[in-house]
Amino acid sequence: MEEMVYHGEHLLPGTIGKSFVFLAFCAALLASIAYFRATSLRLKNSEFQSWEKLGQWSFLAHALSVIGIVATLFYMISGHMFEYHYVWQHSSS
């Protein structure tokens, strides 16, 4: 059985948005684990700094992913990409 192909359908923004959501979740999880390890190892200076640095980079990746999610949603809503239910539901036209 062949898969349906709709010409003019915008699938790339949805894939990018899902990737940002996955990256944001994983980065937030990694940041919380790294900060927990950094606070529990505060007495050992070298390990503390490496876990803290990992937590900082993970938090930065999480923040950039959330900005990417917002930018992707804004692009989809402003482009009236009605193949996505969220856009269809929250767009005024």
Give the other-Cβ count within 10 Å of 65's Cβ. 20
Q: What is the pLDDT of residues 6-26, one digit of tens each?
A: 787 888 999 999 999 999 999
pTM to 2 decimals?
0.83
Structure tokens at 71: 């930018």
* Positive/negative CA dihedral, 14, 17, 21, 27: positive
User: Tell me, what DSSP letter sits at residue 84?
Assistant: S
Q: How far apart, in whole angstroms, are the C-alpha atoms of residue 92 and residue 78?
A: 10
Give the other-Cβ count within 10 Å of 4's Cβ. 6
Q: What is the pLDDT of residues 31-54, one digit of tens each?
A: 999 999 988 876 667 777 888 899
